[in-house]
Structure 1
Amino acid sequence: MKHSKPEALPPPPPVIPFNFAPAKVDQSNRRPMARSEIGTKGQRISLLTNHFNVAFFNEDGNPVESKGIGRRLLDMVHKTYESEMGGKEVAFDGEKTLFTVGALPGTKLEFIVVLENASSNRTIRGETKRSRRLPQSKPYKVTLSYATKIPIQAIVNALKGQDSEQFIEAMRIFDVLLRQHAAKQGCLLVRQCYFKNDRRNFIDIGGGVMGCKGFHSSFHATQSGFSLNIDVSTTMIVKPGKVVDFLLENQNVCCIKEIDWLKAKRTLKNLRIKTFPSNLYYKIIGLSEKTCREQTFSLKKNNHGDEAINITVYQYFVEYHHKHLEYSADYPCLVVGKLKSPTYIPLELCELISLQCYTKPLSNSQRASLVKSRQKPQDQMRALMGELKQSNYDADPLINATGITISNTFTKLEGRVLDPPKLKLGSGRYLVPCGGRWSFNNKTFVEPTRITHWAIVNFSSCCDMNTLRRDLPRCSQAKGLDLDPPSAVIHENSQFRCSPAHVRVDKMFETIRQRLSSPPTFILCILPERKNSDIYGPWKRKCLVDLGIVTQCIAPIKIDHQYVTNMLMKINAKMGGINSLLSIEFSNAIPLVSRTPTIIFGMDVSHGSPGRADVPSIAAVVSSRKWPQISRYRASVRAQSARVEMIDGLFKPISHDKDEGMIRELLDDFYLSTPKLKPKNIIIFRDGVSESQFNQVLNIELNQIIEACKFLDEQWDPKFLVIVAQKRHHTKFFQANSEANVPPGTIVDNKVCHPKNNDFYLCAQNGKIGTTRPTHYHVLLDQIEFSADELQELVHSLSYVYQRSTTAISAVAPIRYAHLAAGQVAQFVKFDDMSDTASSHNGGDAGGFTQLAKLHHKVSNSMFFC
């Protein structure tokens, strides 16, 4: 097979009629739209929700939180000068703001307090630990200056649907109150969640990691009034104990000789330890480059002279502290303290303290252990009620001083269960999903594709190839898929299995070139590991960027009929087929969408691991194609500055007649995939943004999309529908006296929704494990003028067009596809040498925008992400 350099992408055809005169885009400050009506369709259902009503009894209010020495200082100020502060309870936000209920005696107060040195008397999660050092005292001057008054009336006004500039600040104050209440109990605070140091809440999930069960609490303004939202939450923590024991378990090795110290350094950085028997606490900043026996430091012989000697860490602890080091001598020391004057401590004299967050990715087995620990609805309700009673918020002096009381019963509300949409399958068959699920048993795909000249490559030494080669043609024929026998089945040469991943991929393609006379149209790739395989990234990049070959990766533990069916569903969609359609989509009966050319966008951004500021974020936008269908999509992907949520690559004009933005690329595709029509309606589903970013979506991202449209044609004026989907919230719904989750299709647009804005909750999926989390949809803008029922049924239906599965999914398919596209490109981009394949503008023009290697033109229009 001859191979040349990857083909250059041809210049985009002038598909949409141009009018290059720049047009002005309305830059008015758009705000989320108000609700005009609620939905009526669906069967009524009585529900309970984990919101607890909060009643006001006065008009002033205020909050708290803490971190570092700030809380200790202010606690001492309040304790020492309570009368001078007018007997007021105080709340601290952990930064520079202190809140009180009512005014202090003066607008500027100054106090002097004395604290013992933090290194001699440490408080760790509510437990005071004393060291053998004598306490040292240090005076501090604390100045309190009046800043502003935040009235509770701002919340009252918001509950009436009135805009208030002080509402967000007032809500922040109440949430700070909850954090301070938890901090007083010695809890680990993670945003609005808190976790108690109680081993009954710990779940050992392996790898030196534990799941720690806790709770989320936050106040909300809703249609039924002010409410307290309490939810169960789980965070990952490092297993406390000896550092060496943690490393052995984390790296799954049997002895200290097998530890990967480079990996250990990354894992241990910023974790806190206690040294014994001295009981001193430190933060790890790294590992020594030399062993304990070789690492030296300068030791003064006494405190009065300047004479110092160089001594090894091993000598110091053996000779001066009489420690018998059993195994640390020949391994690195922990480095603590400051970089300029580090302190070295042998490994065996350190142990990790409790309640420290673990932020690294979890393995499959760890995730499986977490899934097993999920609570059923009734168990979760009992846990929430027990925590509400145990927290006893009414006894908190500061919360009590605000004049609010919190109900001790779940809020009752009414929901509706929407009927599932009818689906169109192959051979003229239709079906109605039951319980949010359906099956392809004895059924065919609605639009099966034909696959010729394809190959199987095998990187695994344990895959059951005989079963795969037997069941694959049998199952594909049953689904209507025209699959020729593979042109080649290529096994990896065993001599390369220990080579770096990119070498293994290159060697495999050398073999493919030798075995095949021309490039295959499709490759089925068998990986050695199910998840996080090093081969996955470079393999995908080679296929999708360099060669333009559609590929499906698998790593089966057990191959059966269902596994092969699921795999064929992905392959059929990637190769241009469709597994199922909505009946109303097939018959062009979707309200508003089927009558008017409409394009649907799904938008999401994938970020690197926490703390990786050097890894760009990946933005993805998927768009529907071949209108009036809404089940086919393609993706446009760009890199941008790390940790930036707003997408800045939607509109990128580089000359008076050329735009390299994502929207232009997708609009061109829509124009070509339809009978040369421009969409008159543009529906946008945005994932991953918080309420504080809604205005940015409307006034930054939407403006880019409008500018992209105007750049193509100044007279083009499509109508927009903008919806944000949120999964990271804590509202849950329960059926009273039932162990079951709410049925799929359950929708709620009253009581716990926003008092003014247009939003609703939808549980489209069938929650078989744990307690179902609904998706919270916020309708920010609707120029198309859907009725409430039309819009809610469209969103519900879009949860059934996901081509990868035979279940309704929790969020609409365009959003899930955008998430997959961004995640897949992020996977193969991290294996790129960014200096060769990408260029970035560090803080300069284009806001840190980074260029990615483009997808090969042969796969750019495919559902490669499916």
Structure 2
Amino acid sequence: MTGIKGDRMLPKEKVAEMMLHALQKSKVLGEAFSSCASDYLELVVSWKELEAHHASRPDVANGELERLQIVAQESRGTHSSVPEDLTLVRNGEVPIKSFADACAGTFTSLPLHLTGLTTIDAIQGLNIILNKARKLASDSHTFTVGSNKVYDKDTKQDLGYGLELFCGFFFTTKLGMGRALINVNRITTAFYQSVRLDYFMHAYAPPNSYGHWNRAKLRHALLGLRVKITYQNRIKTITGIGELTPVNQTFTLKDGTNTTVAHHLQTQQSATDLIPAITNSNCLCINLGDTSKPSWFPAETLEILPEQIFKIELPPDSQSRMINIARKQPGESRRIIAENGLELLGLKPGPTGSPEASGFWIGADGVGQVTGMRPSSEMLGIPFRQIQPPVINYSKRVQALSPQYTQWNLGSNAFVNYSKAFTGKVIVFVPEEEGKFPSNANPEAASYYAVQLLLQLGLNGVTIMRDGRPVKFKSDDVTDLEKSVITPITFDKYGNREMAFRNGVRRAKIDHSDLSLALLLNPTKKAAWADVFSDFKRVMDQEIGVHSLCITAETCSTQDRKGRLNQYMANIITDFQVMVTERLQDWQARSGFLPAKVLYYRDGVGNSQYAEVRNEEVLKIRAAYAQLQGNSPNPIEPKITAVIVTKRHHTRFYPQTTNMAMNCLPGTVVDSEVTHPCYFDFYLQSHKPVQGTARPTYYFVVENDIGFGAEQLQDFTYHLCFTYQRATLPVGYAPPAYYADRLCDRARAYMKKHFHSISVPRPPRLRKGQDEAMDSFKQRCRAQTEAYELAVLDNWKDLCRSPDGNMKGPWHSALNGTMFWM
């Protein structure tokens, strides 16, 4: 359906309203309404041939089927109704045959094209059909977000802070081996409550006892939120938060006179009922206009539109409540999908006991009757392989594991927990070997590491207390934190270590009764130092009763990392070749040669970026090799295997058991039926979840120069999951990607205090010229957005530069080459 947007940029609600009017008025679609479905934005999918409505004089030669006119808005005040000229155009045939051929494995070349020359791809078309089945089955008590998430209105629960949650289901069609599949999974999502905006502001971030609002917190939560101006019945988007209340916020009228927001609304008859609330309001005004030309409204006149997802971090107690509601045992999740999910999605089995879906899918005009599509309501049984866990060698211990028991023990003492407040002082023990200190583990380094530990705790939300008062500090001024670190104590590695630990703490407590944490600085994590750590933990945990941790200062050649700020919304790493070059230089400096093979685990991209990773990042790895080797007579041509690691997906596996609490065992790998029929991919559940339903990790191989076989790569990846430094059990996905996530988390911690300190003003919203083409306008918008994002990136780099100008990350250069962030 063309002409709905024309040369305008309309909100989705308006487009959907116009599309519904067009579908109801169309003669072509009216005669075949039961045999078509729409996304209510611009697309119509029909499973019957549509005949042109010649009375509307369509241009049949150019694929037009019908021309029609609708009213875009009702008359209101002095505004008259606006007629819109629309055209129903035949784009082409959705490539269902290509989709079926792909399921059958007929296509084996890369890349795989399933999109028609002029129309949409098969999966999008099938999802539109699924959405119609859902609407016919349960439209009265459900709502959708996007094209494939449906929520049950009856599941609403209050989260506090002006928020609520709904439970529902994700659904999509996907390629399978030999057949098309419908992927269905449970989802639980937080939404804004549809309430007056001032109610939300007081619930989410109320003013303090002095009446001061947390504008940064409100701005983070409200920007981009859709609201209705109640006295005008118009829908707008919040673009800013003011600093003044309605009685103090001024603006200029068209005649040039200044007035306040509250006084102006007193002249509006439609806002009479709200005047008392507005004049007594302590809420900040809300901008619904441009940043350069603000349009101020009192929060009391705005109402949050329903069904808007709360996309930022939830308050802690809301988060806990949501997790408790969302968390279900595997058997319970399976039951909810089979009973509630299929009914909501219109996939309920037929009355005769047949597993095939009924209702929309059968009958003379049903999709199944015409296309042969008859979804089964039974879960798909699939083959799997159980990978055996590795044998664990730790110090002098060897421990064999089993699929049922994949955890091993490092000793009798568990790690200690910490609360949201750290109180007291820190002492560090530093070992001597034959009267000398290792170069990376001396008293000066020990004090530095202890201060950095406290600094990072503080930056991550832990209150540092000393002498009953919070310690004040900045990332570039840790003078006060240094007072919380006692002069380090040295001891002889080969002497009576336990006595040294015991006496050291007791002497320190004479002058520092509030000693609360003891650290041991080991120069390496090799087995030769494991006994030192065991003695230290035993004395501190069992005899002294002081929390204790071990700091390892060893440089780690294979797991070293560097951090870079990436361009906003960019999935491909912008400085990738530079980063790879640095990694190779470090490798070469430590080993004397360059590696001949590279196994690259890549996290954080969707399937639409797989080709970009292959065509850009893999090539940049080769370019980094070429750059380093220059004119070498015998250059290494590296063999590269690149694997995409995907954690956020909706595929779940359930064991065939009556035990409701049982997940699939760690080491469960699936590489058929639900994987791609043409590519090298697999699902691997490598961990044992503590609670809830396990989510396997999806691995997709985009390059395989090394020549891994399927089982080789699966086994290697699973065994690699046992090597994560912070756990004595296998983790949920490949540690290289896990370490990258942790380093990014650490970098975000450095940046947290700057989240609301960006000094780059957001550019004003562009206006489309009267005679300007839409493509030209969109190009101007993209150019402005890119320029703004680059300016923000440069600003972040200035804010997050380390005090000594370290170029390898936002930390002191003394920490380069170490895994301090673990």
Common fold: TM-score over 0.5: yes
Preserved contact between residue 248 and residue 255 of structure 1 (Cα < 8 Å): no
Which residue does 1:117 correspond to in 2? 73
Deviations 1:190-231 (A, max 9, x none): 445424361x42343343333322211000111141010000
Which residue does 2:820 correspond to in 1? 864
Which residue does 1:463 correspond to in 2? 422
2-side partners of 1:239 and 1:829: how far apart?
30
TM-score by length of 2: 0.68
Deviations 1:740-765 (A, max 9, x none): 11111111112111112111111111
Structure 1 counterpart SS, 2:563: strand
* Unaligned segments of structure 1, at least 5 residues: 1-65, 121-132, 301-305, 446-458, 474-481, 519-558, 578-623, 626-631, 652-660
- Letter aligned with residue 411 of structure 1: L
Q: CA deviation at 1:665?
A: 1.4
* In the alignment, structure 1 residue 576 sits paired with structure 2 residue 554: yes
1-side partners of 2:367 and 2:131: how far apart?
11
Task: Give 1:154's match in structure 2, choosing from 91, 98, 101.
Answer: 98
* In the alignment, structure 1 residue 727 sits paired with structure 2 residue 679: no
Preserved contact between residue 24 and residue 30 of structure 2 (Cα < 8 Å): no
Which residue does 1:828 correspond to in 2? 750
Q: How does 1:34-113 map to 2 (within 5 A)?
A: 67-83=12-28, 87=32, 89-93=35-39, 96-101=42-47, 102-105=49-52, 106=60, 107-113=63-69
Structure 1 counterpart SS, 2:599: strand
Task: Give 1:738's match in structure 2, choosing from 644, 656, 659.
Answer: 659
Closer/same/farther in 2, CA of residues 67 and 258 from structure 1, 3 Å limit: same
Preserved contact between residue 119 and residue 280 of structure 1 (Cα < 8 Å): no
- Letter aligned with residue 576 of structure 1: E
1-side partners of 2:691 and 2:169: how far apart?
19
- Letter aligned with residue 380 of structure 1: S
* In the alignment, structure 1 residue 650 sits paired with structure 2 residue 594: no
Larger helix proportion, structure 1 or 2? Answer: 2
Closer/same/farther in 2, CA of residues 566 and 662 from structure 1, 3 Å limit: farther
* Unaligned segments of structure 2, at least 5 residues: 1-10, 53-59, 348-357, 432-440, 452-463, 491-539, 761-783
Preserved contact between residue 220 and residue 226 of structure 1 (Cα < 8 Å): yes
Which residue does 2:168 correspond to in 1? 214
- Letter aligned with residue 564 of structure 2: R
Q: How does 1:438-837 map to 2 (within 5 A)?
A: 438-442=408-412, 462-463=421-422, 465=424, 497=470, 501-502=474-475, 505-508=477-480, 568=549, 571-572=551-552, 575-576=553-554, 625=557, 632-651=558-577, 661-674=578-591, 676-713=592-629, 715-736=635-656, 737-739=658-660, 740-829=662-751
* In the alignment, structure 1 residue 225 sits paired with structure 2 residue 211: no
Preserved contact between residue 292 and residue 333 of structure 1 (Cα < 8 Å): yes
2-side partners of 1:767 and 1:436: how far apart?
12
Closer/same/farther in 2, CA of residues 865 and 483 from structure 1, 3 Å limit: same
Preserved contact between residue 328 and residue 346 of structure 1 (Cα < 8 Å): no
Q: CA deviation at 1:286?
A: 3.4
Task: Give 1:313's match in structure 2, choosing from 259, 262, 265.
Answer: 262
2-side partners of 1:787 and 1:116: how far apart?
59
- Letter aligned with residue 767 of structure 1: P
Which residue does 2:772 correspond to in 1? none
Which residue does 1:375 correspond to in 2? 328
Structure 2 counterpart SS, 1:355: coil
Closer/same/farther in 2, CA of residues 387 and 152 from structure 1, 3 Å limit: same
Preserved contact between residue 28 and residue 51 of structure 2 (Cα < 8 Å): no
- Tell me which moved more, 281-290 or 702-711: 281-290
Q: CA deviation at 1:513?
A: 11
Closer/same/farther in 2, CA of residues 435 and 202 from structure 1, 3 Å limit: farther
Closer/same/farther in 2, CA of residues 323 and 637 from structure 1, 3 Å limit: closer
- Letter aligned with residue 152 of structure 1: I
Closer/same/farther in 2, CA of residues 366 and 426 from structure 1, 3 Å limit: farther
Preserved contact between residue 423 and residue 466 of structure 2 (Cα < 8 Å): no
Closer/same/farther in 2, CA of residues 835 and 392 from structure 1, 3 Å limit: closer
Preserved contact between residue 240 and residue 287 of structure 2 (Cα < 8 Å): yes
1-side partners of 2:195 and 2:786: how far apart?
43
Which residue does 1:201 correspond to in 2? 155
1-side partners of 2:89 and 2:374: how far apart?
30
Structure 2 counterpart SS, 1:818: helix
- Tell me which moved more, 399-408 or 806-815: 399-408
Preserved contact between residue 333 and residue 344 of structure 1 (Cα < 8 Å): no
Q: CA deviation at 1:277?
A: 7.8
Which residue does 2:276 correspond to in 1? 325
Which residue does 1:8 correspond to in 2? none
Preserved contact between residue 328 and residue 347 of structure 1 (Cα < 8 Å): no
Deviations 1:683-742 (A, max 9, x none): 111111222222211111100001111222352122222211111111101123221111
- Letter aligned with residue 567 of structure 2: S
Q: CA deviation at 1:72?
A: 2.5
2-side partners of 1:800 and 1:565: how far apart?
30
Q: CA deviation at 1:816?
A: 0.2
Preserved contact between residue 166 and residue 190 of structure 2 (Cα < 8 Å): yes
Q: CA deviation at 1:275?
A: 5.7
- Tell me which moved more, 696-705 or 506-515: 506-515
Closer/same/farther in 2, CA of residues 337 and 381 from structure 1, 3 Å limit: same
Closer/same/farther in 2, CA of residues 195 and 343 from structure 1, 3 Å limit: farther
- Letter aligned with residue 404 of structure 1: M
Q: How does 1:156-171 map to 2 (within 5 A)?
A: 156-163=100-107, 165-167=113-115, 169-171=121-123
Preserved contact between residue 734 and residue 741 of structure 1 (Cα < 8 Å): yes
- Letter aligned with residue 854 of structure 1: M
2-side partners of 1:679 and 1:309: how far apart?
71
- Letter aligned with residue 196 of structure 1: Y
Q: CA deviation at 1:309?
A: 9.6
Closer/same/farther in 2, CA of residues 332 and 442 from structure 1, 3 Å limit: closer
2-side partners of 1:271 and 1:214: how far apart?
22
Q: CA deviation at 1:790?
A: 2.1
Q: CA deviation at 1:158?
A: 0.6
Closer/same/farther in 2, CA of residues 414 and 319 from structure 1, 3 Å limit: closer
**What is the count of residue pairs matched by the alignment?**
649
- Letter aligned with residue 329 of structure 2: K
Closer/same/farther in 2, CA of residues 311 and 152 from structure 1, 3 Å limit: same
2-side partners of 1:865 and 1:190: how far apart?
38
Deviations 1:31-67 (A, max 9, x none): xxxxxxxxxxxxxxxxxxxxxxxxxxxxxxxxxxx93
Which residue does 1:541 correspond to in 2? none
Structure 2 counterpart SS, 1:388: helix
Q: CA RMSD in A?
A: 4.5
Structure 1 counterpart SS, 2:820: coil
Structure 2 counterpart SS, 1:257: coil
Closer/same/farther in 2, CA of residues 648 and 337 from structure 1, 3 Å limit: closer
Preserved contact between residue 152 and residue 168 of structure 2 (Cα < 8 Å): no
TM-score by length of 1: 0.65
Preserved contact between residue 71 and residue 92 of structure 1 (Cα < 8 Å): no
Preserved contact between residue 665 and residue 688 of structure 2 (Cα < 8 Å): yes
Which residue does 2:203 correspond to in 1? 249
Deviations 1:146-174 (A, max 9, x none): 33333310111111223352358122222
Which residue does 1:437 correspond to in 2? 407
2-side partners of 1:183 and 1:299: how far apart?
47
Q: How does 1:381-396 map to 2 (within 5 A)?
A: 381-385=334-338, 386-392=340-346, 395-396=359-360
2-side partners of 1:335 and 1:823: how far apart?
32
Preserved contact between residue 201 and residue 212 of structure 1 (Cα < 8 Å): yes
1-side partners of 2:121 and 2:471: how far apart?
57
- Tell me which moved more, 143-152 or 815-824: 143-152
1-side partners of 2:307 and 2:680: how far apart?
39
